[in-house]
Chains A and B, each alone.
Chain A
Amino acid sequence: MNAGSTARTLLAPVVLGAAAIALWQLLVVAFQVEPFLVPSPSGIAGAFADTASGIMEASLATGLNALIGLLIGAVLGIFVAIIANALTFLDRMLVPLVAALAVIPIVALAPIFYAMFGAAAETGRQLVAAVAVFVPMYLNTLHGLRQVEPVHRDLMRSYAATKEQTNRMLLIPGAIPYVLTGLKIGSSLAVISALIAEYFGGPAKGLGRAITSSAAASNYTVAWAYVLGAVLLGTVFYGVTAALESFSHRHRSGT
């Protein structure tokens, strides 16, 4: 039973993935689908191997923007959340602004940032990622800071602990799992935003520009290879932050 369920959780997705790729390959070959519709997986793999260095370079450029954006957005999100949790009026003032940021397509801000910081610099794209990351970081941190159990609050009050002590010993450590969940969500958003911001103009040497220019030159298979690079980059970001999150969750359960 146990061996069976392990086999199922590990094997089933692999089998499904392999089957999907095989079917994809088969359909493309059997119906002679043109690359501009969808290239075959083997074609993409070949193009990926051929342009590996270019993909690596572009991934580093986009990845660096995403990383800087992630750091700025995360630090800002946590910081503002801690302050907003302490100062009720700030929290109330930020409600509509954060709500607006949460529902608007952040990448649409790219042209504005380009005008503000110059389209040639990477700052605009980093900021798009940072703003996209800020929203889940802020909301998750604030949520985490408010998840205090009443018994812990009573305890700190009975100790006549100062606000600063309560923050440092109770609220902030308690919020860490939530912060890390925010970071996990933010890591994906950072990559996606940094990449899409490149579609909104400005010279860039990242993956987004490589995809559009390859597509414009009708190099569809190469463009797909760059998409594969983007997928891998996103997986790396997600994998690292998800590992961090599960590590912290494993170390605290029950009170």
Chain B
Amino acid sequence: MTAKPVAVTVTNVDKIFRSRKGAEVHALSDVSLEVAAGEFISLIGPSGCGKSTLMRLVADLDGITSGEITVFGKTPEKARKDQDYGIAFQQAGLLPWRSVRANIELPLEIHGWEPRDRKERSDELLELIGLADFADHKPDQLSGGMKQRVAIARSLAERPRLLLMDEPFGALDEITREHMQNELVALCQETGAAVIFVTHSIPEAVFLSDRVVVMSPRPGRITEVIDLDFSSRDEELREDAAFYEGVTAVRNALHGGETAGARGVENR
């Protein structure tokens, strides 16, 4: 792994939120993590463990309190300004007055692409997500899964080498969700981008990731990192014994090393 070039490094990062009344929330405590280029990393943990916060720090949506983060060797701010990453959230966050195509083109428009180049790129992306027939539809005419696909296409628009995804499938039903996971695997193989993927679903994390980073709350910190090495990621993997081993390992890590087969963790 050390041989590969590094996409993101997180070194001894602390994040403390101060509320208006002066109360402090220790969102992240002494977190260190390294993400290699092309690697798929999931951050998993109960709510309040700081997994979204960690992703937002990498994206420079919030600032760190102490420690250091680099994205492709730059500060997060520089990386954001250079558009080194694409981002997707739990809410698709499409602009309701723009068509599907115009939503995908939004980042290109902001960064001054020529209309012709924009159209070319959005054509490719529409093809990629299988929504070419819906290019001129408005977001309110799409289903939840379709909206999320558009949001992912938008995050891929500038061919980023890093994708940041904050529970992008969290609001979808189980069937759509598995379908989207399959698509995401294919997309990642195609683009070779590194991914930091925030989720609270164990099977989702296991199915998608090269490594699952398990976090725990108060203060938010990394408790365990689980390596997964599946030869292929397809529908068969979901039935595979190796997959269930991975699920069990992550579940045990979440429960702080309790006995295998612990119940009660959200398992979808």
Contact = CB atoms under 8 A, between A and B. Distances in A.
Direct chain A–B contact by Cβ atoms under 8 Å: yes
B59 to A, nearest CB: 6
Interface stretch (A71-79, A216-224, A246-254): A246-254
Contact of B83 (A151, A159, A251): A159
Interface in A138-172: 149, 151-152, 154-161, 165, 169-170
Contact of B95 (A158, A173, A251): A173
Consensus secondary structure, chain A interface? helix
B67 interface: no
A95 B87 CA distance: 37
A104 to B, nearest CB: 33
B110 A161 contact: yes
Given A158-B59, A159-B111, A160-B83, A251 B97 contact: yes
Nearest to A250: B140
Given A157-B61, A160-B81, A255 B93 contact: yes
B139 A158 contact: no
Interface residues of A, number: 22
Contacts of B139: 254-255
B97 A255 contact: no
A152 B110 contact: no
B92 A255 contact: yes
A103 B73 CA distance: 57
Interface in A167-211: 169-170, 173-174, 176
Nearest to B90: A151
B130 interface: no
B93 A152 contact: yes
Contact of A151 (B59, B91, B110): B91
Contacts of B107: 159
Contact of A252 (B60, B80, B111, B140): B140
A162 B106 CA distance: 13
A156 B134 CA distance: 24
Contacts of B96: 252-255
A176 B97 CA distance: 10
Contacts of B83: 159-160
Nearest to A165: B110
B163 to A, nearest CB: 12
Find the residue from B56, B59, B91 having the highest chain A CB count within 10 A. B91
Contacts of B243: none
B138 interface: yes
Interface residues of B, number: 25
Contacts of A251: 97, 138
Interface in B81-103: 81, 83, 85, 87, 89, 91-97
Contacts of B56: 154
A190 to B, nearest CB: 27
Find the residue from B60, B92, B140 having the highest chain A CB count within 10 A. B140
Contacts of A170: 95
A156 B107 CA distance: 8
Nearest to B91: A151
A173 B93 contact: no
A165 B139 CA distance: 21
B110 A149 contact: no
Interface in A75-126: none
A105 B61 CA distance: 46
A149 B93 contact: yes
A227 B124 CA distance: 62
Interface string B90-128: 011111110000000011011100000000000000000
Interface string B133-161: 00000111000000000000000000000
Given A159-B106, A252-B140, A255-B95, 11 more contacts: A151-B89, A154-B56, A154-B87, A154-B93, A155-B93, A157-B61, A160-B83, A161-B110, A173-B95, A255-B93, A255-B96
22 contacts: A149-B91, A151-B89, A151-B91, A151-B93, A154-B93, A156-B110, A157-B61, A158-B59, A158-B85, A159-B106, A159-B107, A159-B110, A165-B110, A169-B106, A169-B109, A173-B95, A174-B95, A254-B96, A254-B139, A255-B91, A255-B92, A255-B94
Interface of B: 56, 59-61, 80-81, 83, 85, 87, 89, 91-97, 106-107, 109-111, 138-140
The 4 A-B residue pairs whose C-beta atoms are closest, nearest first, are A151-B93, A254-B140, A252-B96, A160-B81
